[in-house]
Structure formats: C-alpha cells, structure tokens
Chain A
C-alpha cells in the first residue's frame, strides 16, 4: 500500500465544453487555457486506499471514544426522579435511593452511549479498547489486604502470608499484581461471586494444604491532621478486620486428578 501510485489523469476543467458540442457560427474561439504543470500528490496512497483507510480509522476512533463513555456511565445510573433532591414518601420523608421502587422510579439510562455500544462493544472487546480509563476515580480509595494461613488435615500450619506484602512479593510489579488481585476481588461488581473461595482454592493447591483461613483487612487512610498529630499511615489502628473465611479443600490435589485427554 505504501508504493507510489501514478498520478491520476488531469480532470477536465469545470465549464469546458465537450469537443463534440455544436459550435455556433458567430462564437469566437476561446483561447486555449494554459496547461497546469503536474503537481505530484503529497500522499503516496491512491484515493481509493485513502478513502478506505479513512473509513476504518474513523470507525476505530469512534469506538475508541464511545467505549469509555459508556463504561464510565454504567456506575452513574440514577433513578428517574426530579433533580435537586431525593423524592419524598407519603409522610414527606426523603426516600433512600436503595428503596426506590423501580416501577415508580425506573433508572435514568444513558440512552445514547448504550445504543452506540450495543453492537460496537464486541469490536472494543475483541481488540481490547473496552476500557474506562478511570484511574484513581471517582475518588482515591482505601486499600485492602488478605492474610492467609494454610493447614493440613492434622492442623499443622503449612504456610502463611499476606497479599500484598512488599517483603513477600518482589519485584514491585509482582507486588502490584497481588495488590490488584485483592482490590479487584473487593470490587462491588465482584461481590457474591465467590472470589475469595477461588483464592483459597489456589492457595491450598499451591501449598498442598487441606484447610485455609483467610482474613480480609481494610487499611484505612489518615487525614492530613491525623498525620500531623503523629499518626502513622501504617499504624496498627489503621487496619480493620472486615471478615474471616475458613475454607476446606474441594478440588482434588493435582497429583490425584485424572490426566486430561491428549496430554501426557
């Protein structure tokens, strides 16, 4: 496509008469127009290639734009109620958003982004431009940790550790992957999906254990004033235990699994 194409033949100038048009006898012959020197096209690709590629890039950039637009608005959907304050119940009290009756207050949907991405999102998925680009948004939040202890059937501790932990996970990117693992497992979208069970099963498999105990921890942030008052951002009071899970192995150890067909 990058090969130089021959220049297109010069077009007939607008207004020039056709050669076979009948000439009026009294008409004076027009002076011949000076022939313009050929100017090479600054674009090596021919018009057809340029139009085709233009359509493709326009489509691509369009999807590039609508994907984060739709993804960011997914979490901004609010009930169809008068702006400016929550609707009131029969007693005049504000109705909390979670108690809105969807028949009375259906969701206000971002109609346009939804319509645009209805089919185009498959293109975005396929080439991985299905991103929201919402870094540290809408607000930077607290961090979470998972502490684990793995035991065998006799109750002996086989392993213990923490995700994330700078001493256990190095280099920094490896630490960051563990941090993301914990944060994304705490995402409200993942709630109730049994993610902790999946993490527990993996830890049992890794350490060849029979039981695992997971402790979920929230690491709170301090205000500037709390830090000025001597608080440490890694002080013990900043950690809050938010859940404990004991899990027994459900998956058979890898050594006991039947070999998959076609594999040695």
Chain B
C-alpha cells in the first residue's frame, strides 16, 4: 500500500516538474521575435489591402452592414468589433490609418509590447467585422499569432526597440524569458489544435477519404494561380497528395513534439502551405501558416539563421553589431 502511495506521489511530482519544465523554463526570445517580425509584416499587408475598398468591406453600410450582421441568428454580445461603433467615413479612415501604424510598429518592433496588444485587438476587430463576410484562414492565423505575441517580449530581438537600447549604450543580451516560453508554447498548442480539427473535418468528407479532394481543390479556377490540371493524368499523385494531407494533419499534434519526427512535420507543413501559396493563390495564408510553424524552431536555430542579417542591419543603423 505504501508503495502505491509513494509511486502515485512520485508520479504527480514528476508530472508537476514536467509541466513546469514545459511552461516555465525561460527561453531566448529569438523565436518569438522572429515570428513578431514576420507576422507583423503579414498583418500590415493584410490590413493595408482593406484600403482598396475600406467602406465596402469594413464600413458600417458596406457589403455586410453592421445591422445585418447583428441581426444574424447566433450573433452574440461577445462577438465584438470596434468597427460596429464607427459610422462616418472620415472616422473609419482615421482608425484604419492608425491601425496600419500599429501594425507597422509591430513589424518594426517599435514599442513592441504595446503594439502587439493593440495589433491583436485591431486584428480581431477587423476580422469580426467581416465574419461572416470576407474572412478566411489568413485572419484566423493572424489573430492567433498576435494573441500570443502580446504575451511575451516579442521585441527583445530583431526590433527597433533593441536598436534603441543599443544606441543608449545598453548592449546586454536579452535575458531568457519565461513569458517568451509561454507565448511559444501556446502558439505550438494552438497550431496542434488547428491541424487536428482540420483533419477531423476532412475525415467527414468522402473526397478526402477516397483520395480525390486535391483534384477538386486544384481544378477550381477561382482558386488556381498556377496550372494544375495536368494532375488529371496523374490520379496516383492526386491520391498521394490527398492522403498525405489528411494523415499529416492528423498526426501533427502527436509527432511534432518528438525531435526525430518534428523535422518531417515542419517540412511537410512548408510543402503543404507552400503549395497552397504557389498553386492556389493564397500566398498570404500559406506564408502565415509557415510563420506559425516556426514556433517549433529552437531559438539557437533562429539565431544561427537570423543573427547575421540582424547584425548587418544593426551595423548599418547604429554602427554596432547586435542580434
């Protein structure tokens, strides 16, 4: 009996230690900073595109009027957007330009933490304004990344904030951060949830189970950006791509944590999302998902790739090399 109690106690002690190691081990904020740089640029571009028809998509009386959305069944108080309260066109444009300024700050890493919080609130406001209306996976990914960026020191590296500190004589390396680790862990888990449920939804479809879905997606003229109809002569390729997509999405949440299978999962993500970007015209969505997958990169790997570039930029701007 004593052995059982001791074993159980040991199990929970080990579990608590593993939990703490997973969530609370400080990490170099390099990975988070790289994702801030890339996701910030993506959010700036994504929201800049609304400028082409801001009143039409975001305006109160646009293609999906605010009153129309609010009257839709299932619309609840907790679905919010600042654009629900913005009427006049001049105010809409003022808020939009300020929002673009926030996304630019996030991209450059200027007042990074404040910019990340504002960018998240604004990104949610834009997407809730066009849900339903004109949203798609890109908006979901943008909001996901912005939400976790604001939780950690996303401007600790590769940012104007860092260069500003350097200019003031603070050349110290950014300290490993627990908050950075929590942000990255949440991104990773969120990504696992996305792939897992994406796979479950596909399993409801006959074409995904039979192995023909990639054809129906690739031969859709409205999506297509590069010719893919040559696949008609290669049913085996269609089947391979279809089955590989489903099995990869389904196994991602389990295999991405193992260091031997992780590279396969990540490179597969690059291949799938890169394919969507190149062939199906969703360059932004494909890239945003690849950026999210970078959360599984070790900070050392990120620094090995990015620091040389960051040092050159730093040397050019403040005359000192820094990561």
- Alpha-carbon separation in the docked complex, A66 to B115 (Å): 30
Kindly provide the distance from the CB of B203 to the nearest chain A CB, expressed in whole angstroms.
Answer: 8
Q: Are B229 and A260 in contact (CB under 8 A)?
A: no
- Chain A residues numbered 162-200 whose CB sits less than 8 Å from any CB in chain B: 164, 169, 171-181, 184, 187, 189-190, 193-195, 198-199
| Per-residue A-contact encoding for B36-59, CB less than 8 Å = 1, 0 else | 000000000110011011011100
Q: Are B87 and A260 in contact (CB under 8 A)?
A: yes
Q: Are A44 and B178 in contact (CB under 8 A)?
A: yes
Q: Are A45 and B178 in contact (CB under 8 A)?
A: yes
Given contacts A140-B220, A173-B46, A202-B63, contact A133 B197 (CB under 8 A): yes
Q: Are B178 and A1 in contact (CB under 8 A)?
A: yes
Please give, as numbers and ranges, the residues of chain B lying within 8 Å of A121 by CB-CB distance: 76, 78
Is A132 on the interface with B (CB-CB < 8 A)?
yes
Please give, as numbers and ranges, the residues of chain A lying within 8 Å of B232 by CB-CB distance: 224-225, 227-228
Shortest Cβ distance from B234 into A: residue: A224
| Per-residue B-contact encoding for A53-71, CB less than 8 Å = 1, 0 else | 1100100110011001100
Pick from A53, A172, A227, A264: contact of B182, CB below 8 A.
A53
Q: Are A139 and B207 in contact (CB under 8 A)?
A: yes
Segment at the interface with B among A24-32, A77-85, A102-110, A122-130: A122-130
Segment at the interface with A among B261-269, B279-287, B313-321: B279-287
Q: Are A61 and B189 in contact (CB under 8 A)?
A: yes
- Chain B residues numbered 4-41 whose CB sits less than 8 Å from any CB in chain A: 19-21, 23-26
Q: Are A2 and B177 in contact (CB under 8 A)?
A: yes
Q: Count A-B pairs with CB separation below 8 Å.
A: 219
Judged by DSSP, the binding face of B is helix
Kindly provide the distance from the CB of A242 to the nearest chain B CB, expressed in whole angstroms.
Answer: 15
| Per-residue B-contact encoding for A214-249, CB less than 8 Å = 1, 0 else | 000001011011011000011000100000000000
Q: Are B136 and A180 in contact (CB under 8 A)?
A: yes
Q: Are B201 and A224 in contact (CB under 8 A)?
A: no
- Alpha-carbon separation in the docked complex, A264 to B281 (Å): 42
- Alpha-carbon separation in the docked complex, A189 to B73 (Å): 9
Is B225 on the interface with A (CB-CB < 8 A)?
yes
- Alpha-carbon separation in the docked complex, A205 to B306 (Å): 49
Kindly provide the distance from the CB of A170 to the nearest chain B CB, expressed in whole angstroms.
Answer: 9
Q: Are B133 and A181 in contact (CB under 8 A)?
A: yes
- Alpha-carbon separation in the docked complex, A220 to B305 (Å): 46
Please give, as numbers and ranges, the residues of chain A lying within 8 Å of B82 by CB-CB distance: none
Most A CB contacts (10 A, CB to CB) among B79, B179, B235 go to: B79
Kindly provide the distance from the CB of B73 to the nearest chain A CB, expressed in whole angstroms.
Answer: 8
Please give, as numbers and ranges, the residues of chain A lying within 8 Å of B233 by CB-CB distance: 224, 228
Please give, as numbers and ranges, the residues of chain A lying within 8 Å of B90 by CB-CB distance: 263-264
Pick from A1, A193, A206: contact of B68, CB below 8 A.
A193
Q: Are B132 and A187 in contact (CB under 8 A)?
A: yes
Q: Are B57 and A177 in contact (CB under 8 A)?
A: yes
Q: Are A184 and B133 in contact (CB under 8 A)?
A: yes
Q: Are B80 and A172 in contact (CB under 8 A)?
A: no
Please give, as numbers and ranges, the residues of chain B lying within 8 Å of A233 by CB-CB distance: 219-221, 224, 229
- Chain B residues numbered 217-272 whose CB sits less than 8 Å from any CB in chain A: 217, 219-225, 229, 231-233, 235, 238
Kindly provide the distance from the CB of B300 to the nearest chain A CB, expressed in whole angstroms.
Answer: 18
Please give, as numbers and ranges, the residues of chain B lying within 8 Å of A126 by CB-CB distance: 78, 80
Please give, as numbers and ranges, the residues of chain A lying within 8 Å of B225 by CB-CB distance: 172
Please give, as numbers and ranges, the residues of chain A lying within 8 Å of B231 by CB-CB distance: 224
Please give, as numbers and ranges, the residues of chain B lying within 8 Å of A72 by CB-CB distance: 197, 200-201, 204
Q: Are A251 and B143 in contact (CB under 8 A)?
A: no
Is A50 on the interface with B (CB-CB < 8 A)?
yes
Is A42 on the interface with B (CB-CB < 8 A)?
yes
- Give 23 A-B contacts (CB < 8 Å), ordered by A residue: A1-B178, A2-B179, A42-B25, A43-B25, A43-B178, A44-B26, A53-B23, A72-B197, A122-B78, A128-B147, A133-B197, A134-B197, A138-B204, A140-B216, A140-B220, A175-B281, A176-B136, A181-B133, A189-B132, A202-B62, A205-B61, A227-B229, A251-B61
Known: A53-B182, A173-B284. 16 other contacts (CB 8 A): A1-B178, A43-B24, A53-B24, A129-B144, A129-B190, A138-B202, A139-B205, A171-B49, A174-B49, A175-B281, A176-B281, A176-B284, A193-B68, A193-B72, A202-B56, A234-B221
B interface residues with partner A (beta carbon < 8 Å): 19-21, 23-26, 45-46, 49-50, 52-53, 55-57, 61-65, 68, 71-72, 76-80, 87-88, 90-91, 124, 127-128, 130, 132-138, 140, 143-144, 147, 175, 177-179, 182, 185-186, 189-190, 193-194, 197-198, 200-202, 204-208, 213, 215-217, 219-225, 229, 231-233, 235, 238, 281-284
A interface residues with partner B (beta carbon < 8 Å): 1-2, 42-45, 50, 53-54, 57, 60-61, 64-65, 68-69, 72, 76, 121-123, 125-143, 145, 164, 169, 171-181, 184, 187, 189-190, 193-195, 198-199, 201-202, 205-206, 219, 221-222, 224-225, 227-228, 233-234, 238, 251, 260, 263-264
